[in-house]
Structure 1
Amino acid sequence: MRKRYSIYIPLVLVLVDVFIINTVIYLINDKDYLNPKFLGYINLFWILSGVITNFYKIYRHYNYFKVISALSTQAIIFVLGFFTFFTIFREGDIVNNQTKVLLSIILSIVIARLLFVYAIRKYRRRGNNYRKVIVLGADESAKKLIEILKNKKSLGYQFLGYFSNKEEDGTENFLGSISKYESFALAEEVDEVYCSLAELKSKQIKKVKKFAIKHKRGVKLIPNSNELNTKNVSAQYYDDSMLILNVKKLPFDLPENRIIKRVFDFLFAAFVCLFIISWLYPILWILIKLESRGPAIFKQEREGFNGEEFVCYKFRSMRINQEADKVHATKNDRRVTKLGSFLRKTSLDEIPQFFNVLLGSMSVVGPRPHLESLALEYQKDVDNYLERHAVKPGITGLAQISGYRGEIKKKSDIKNRVRLDIFYIENWSFILDVKIVVSTVLNIFKGDENAY
């Protein structure tokens, strides 16, 4: 994929706003504002309120009306936060220049933001900062979108052509039948795929979404009247006339959610390593060594984020055997040692995976990682299996606390696990992670009949 610089735009805008706020206060040079307490509060309030209201998310299809609307919302919240400071910390005091400070900051930021939007649109009009797009389908709505993508350069799209099963060779911008889009999209590093809901069937749409998840491409839908009320999409207008349905981003598509999860993972794993593994590891190391020969830590390659393999750590619970990397443990498995049985029932064999969390190859909560050989089998039985790779694998997960752990005896077992994994990915929240961790700890003390 080409390098993307648009992801840095929100950060640049934050820095510009903070610079403006502090510069205005410095130039006014009033001790009521030019002090660490007020500066710290007002900068932090502006940034947090901007993140919460999505003030720093400026999409390519946004026009000046959308930008002004976002500025108005942010300005109202900022005014409330501004006066809240003096109500809490300076109640009863007379503070000068409040209107002057407020108007100076807001007007400066409004002017800066409008100038930025003008500059970025002009920059894109010259063929810079573009995204490569293709269209699947050739109905009237698709053709209307194609004209907008070709003529509205300020949107920042480079239209490469369209695929359709209803067109013939020789038509302008026609690239072939729909079945050929995947190889073209990969060869040309296409960023977004627009699908006509009038021409493509639901199975084809699902296939496109699966392709997009695997190769990190965007998917947008050109609607017909039957699709306007679907819950999985949000409406966008291109050129104020062309309605496009954007496939809603998953929680982990948002950088702030990944940061929150990574910070939680690191702090939680560091706590476990420092206060539990530090004294538990040497005890279990000795006990494992006394019962059977071999290393105390069992290392195994598993599929992780984006399907990439990583080395997963566990306390060894089996005697050394040649089937360890091929066959999962079953009930009354003779390979499992007496200590190993205890470790499995209490999930203590998974504790070394907190090192994986610190290294960044795993998360505390997420879909359990599978062996590549088994994953290939599961893909045949479950259509959306690959969606699990959209996040890092976890030490525990929603499927595990819901009773789906241990041996997979029938197809419905893996289907139910994947169903819960996908639900977790699509509905993630920090609170959900906390609930799963708490449930996992409680299950350790209660015991699990599927842990063997």
Structure 2
Amino acid sequence: MAYTRGRYSWLLRPFLIVCDIFIINIFAYYLLNFNDEKLFFFSIRWLNDKHLLYVIYSIVCWLSTTFLLKFYKVYRYTSAQSIISLLIKQFLAYTIITFAYVGIFRSINVEAIVVIKYLLYSFLAIGVVKILSFYTLKKVRTYLKGNLRNVIIIGSGENINELKNIFKKEKELGYNIKAIFNNSKNDNTTGTINDSFSFLQKNDNIDEIYCAIDELTEKEVNDYVKYANINHCNIKFIPDTLKLFTKRLQTDYYSYLPVLSIQEVALNNEFNKLLKRCFDVVFSLFIIISIHFWLSIILFILIKLESKGPLFYRHKRNGINYKEFNCYKFRSLTTTKEEKGTYVKQNDVRITKIGKFLRRTNLDEIPQFINVLKGDMSVVGPRPHMLTYTDDYSKKIDKYNFIFRHHVKPGVTGLAQIKGYRGEVKSDKDIVNRVKYDNFYIENWSLFLDIKIILQTVLNMIKGQEKAY
């Protein structure tokens, strides 16, 4: 998620959208000579008003194409060439849209040259407004010291030094370096990497964190990601070599320096998040009402008869953006203490008799639908790991892939789960494949895929799986 702070800068994009829509419609009113013939045989007056219909048509089509082409995704580090490229793409797309409107209504008698003149005038005005606003903000940052973004830089190396030089020399970008942290004991630094965490706790006005990720431990990366998520600031990564580039991260260029950030995937699109959340709530309520309620009463008696302890087992897990939460299960072991290396193994002496049945059928995970209702989990997603395993696993996986896995909510079930990569990790291959399937799910999410995984999970509950112990 890309966050934007500032008093008024967030108003710029809505202003440009309204301005552009006004431009295309005011030029249409004066240049496109719509005749007065009726478009429809209806008596509804507004349906026969070609200008009003074009206004509605233009607004819908303009918003749709600009969203798809990311026309308004212009940032302070965006180059002028990129802006011109966006203008050309939008011009071509809207040209097709305009001629389509004229073609749909045969009664509109407008010459092609007039339509082209309308489009050229409109986009000349839109281009002037867009470029003028872009360069005006640059001057505001350079001379008035406004629209600045406070940043801290973590790490050292050639690319970090280049980034610092860009921020210091190119004042029009508006990056204000508040602090620099690394372990090189340089006089120009604010402190060590460990010092950065206390600095962040005392300063809540940081907009962006830039990290040389190869110098950080997995725990440090986790802490920065969690801080950025809680405090609504952006976190970006500076790669050392080209081999670190991955399609799972968005690459932006500050001059010629590549800067990586966690990209927005379809699963985190606002509409898809709402769709998935609605599905999660409805499905979870169904499971809790139809299964969880009566099953809890029966299992309370059976579990208590066999061993002392609570009905539910709570364990800490890493959720979205490494956020910690209490994950619930029906207790299937004689102990409730969680320690490093306590993944359940085959024929584990800690498993109770009723616990074997619960684990084989996955019924021990039914209480996690409470986590789904609370918003900590989703019905389908990457399975959450024990906190003690997160650091160990990350050392065996490319860091960018592991961070990407934690960019969505964990699930009660998941693609890796139904493919057999669950439970005990016997070799590096197990965790590598688990992350591979999890990332495939994130990149290729659809509601249909969720339903398919749920159905396969039910089949696996009936048939049983090799690692369901």
Report the equivalent of 2:168.
150
Are residue 259 (structure 1) and residue 270 (structure 2) matched?
yes
Q: Secondary structure at the match of 2:273?
A: helix
Judging changes above 3 Å, is the alpha-carbon distance between structure 1 residues 13 and 211 closer, same or farther for their aligned structure 2 residues?
A: farther
Q: Look up the equivalent residue of 1:175 and give its one-letter code.
A: T
CA distance in 2 between partners of 1:293 and 1:348 (Å): 17
After TM superposition, list the pairs within 5 Å mapping 1:314-393 onto structure 2: 314=329, 316=330, 318=332, 322-323=335-336, 331=346, 336=352, 338=354, 341-370=356-385, 374-380=386-392, 382-383=394-395, 387=403, 388-393=405-410
Contact 2:167 2:175 in 1 (8 A): yes
CA distance in 2 between partners of 1:302 and 1:433 (Å): 28
Q: Secondary structure at the match of 1:33?
A: helix
Judging changes above 3 Å, is the alpha-carbon distance between structure 1 residues 17 and 401 closer, same or farther for their aligned structure 2 residues?
A: farther
Are residue 75 (structure 1) and residue 75 (structure 2) matched?
no
- CA shift, 1:286, in A, is 5.0
- CA shift, 1:244, in A, is 0.2
Q: 2:73 aligns with which of 57, 61, 84?
A: 57
CA distance in 2 between partners of 1:324 and 1:137 (Å): 41
Are residue 243 (structure 1) and residue 256 (structure 2) matched?
yes
Judging changes above 3 Å, is the alpha-carbon distance between structure 1 residues 354 and 74 closer, same or farther for their aligned structure 2 residues?
A: farther
- CA shift, 1:155, in A, is 0.7
CA distance in 1 between partners of 2:450 and 2:137 (Å): 43
Judging changes above 3 Å, is the alpha-carbon distance between structure 1 residues 432 and 128 closer, same or farther for their aligned structure 2 residues?
A: same
Report the equivalent of 2:46.
none
After TM superposition, list the pairs within 5 Å mapping 1:46-445 onto structure 2: 46-87=62-103, 89-90=104-105, 92-96=106-110, 98=115, 102-103=119-120, 105-125=122-142, 126-131=144-149, 132-134=151-153, 136-137=155-156, 146-160=164-178, 169=187, 174-175=188-189, 182-183=196-197, 186=200, 189=206, 191-193=208-210, 195=212, 203-204=214-215, 212-216=224-228, 218-221=235-238, 227=242, 230-231=245-246, 238=254, 242-252=255-265, 257-273=268-284, 277-288=288-299, 291-292=302-303, 298=312, 300-303=314-317, 304-314=319-329, 316=330, 318=332, 322-323=335-336, 331=346, 336=352, 338=354, 341-370=356-385, 374-380=386-392, 382-383=394-395, 387=403, 388-406=405-423, 408=424, 410=426, 412=427, 416-417=430-431, 420-421=434-435, 424-425=438-439, 428-431=442-445, 434-435=448-449, 437-445=451-459
Report the equivalent of 1:4.
5
CA deviation map 1:71-97 (0-9, x unaligned): 11111111112323444x43x333547
Q: Secondary structure at the match of 1:445?
A: helix
Judging changes above 3 Å, is the alpha-carbon distance between structure 1 residues 262 and 324 closer, same or farther for their aligned structure 2 residues?
A: farther
CA deviation map 1:383-441 (0-9, x unaligned): 268735433221122331231223x264x26x733663366348723446744651442
Q: Look up the equivalent residue of 1:111 and give its one-letter code.
A: V
- TM-score of the two chains, using structure 2 as the length reference: 0.70
- CA shift, 1:3, in A, is 7.2
- CA shift, 1:42, in A, is 3.0
CA distance in 1 between partners of 2:436 and 2:227 (Å): 18
Are residue 34 (structure 1) and residue 52 (structure 2) matched?
yes
- CA shift, 1:298, in A, is 3.1
Q: Which runs of 5+ in 2 are unaligned?
A: 35-48, 229-233
* Of 214-223 and 351-360, the range deviating more from structure 2: 214-223
CA distance in 1 between partners of 2:430 and 2:30 (Å): 62
CA distance in 1 between partners of 2:222 and 2:373 (Å): 30
- CA shift, 1:67, in A, is 1.4
Contact 1:22 1:39 in 2 (8 A): yes
CA distance in 1 between partners of 2:295 and 2:250 (Å): 52
Superposition RMSD in Å: 4.5
Q: Look up the equivalent residue of 1:134 and give its one-letter code.
A: I
* Of 345-354 and 61-70, the range deviating more from structure 2: 345-354
CA distance in 1 between partners of 2:370 and 2:412 (Å): 11
Judging changes above 3 Å, is the alpha-carbon distance between structure 1 residues 118 and 277 closer, same or farther for their aligned structure 2 residues?
A: same
CA distance in 1 between partners of 2:310 and 2:184 (Å): 62
- CA shift, 1:157, in A, is 1.0
- TM-score of the two chains, using structure 1 as the length reference: 0.72
Contact 1:265 1:358 in 2 (8 A): no
Contact 1:251 1:257 in 2 (8 A): yes
CA distance in 2 between partners of 1:210 and 1:109 (Å): 43
Residue identity (%):
28
Judging changes above 3 Å, is the alpha-carbon distance between structure 1 residues 351 and 74 closer, same or farther for their aligned structure 2 residues?
A: farther
CA deviation map 1:98-127 (0-9, x unaligned): 557645653443333223213322332222
Contact 2:287 2:369 in 1 (8 A): no
CA distance in 1 between partners of 2:286 and 2:157 (Å): 62
Report the equivalent of 2:45.
none
Contact 1:138 1:166 in 2 (8 A): no
CA distance in 1 between partners of 2:198 and 2:147 (Å): 21
CA distance in 1 between partners of 2:444 and 2:410 (Å): 16
CA distance in 1 between partners of 2:239 and 2:281 (Å): 47
CA distance in 2 between partners of 1:439 and 1:192 (Å): 37
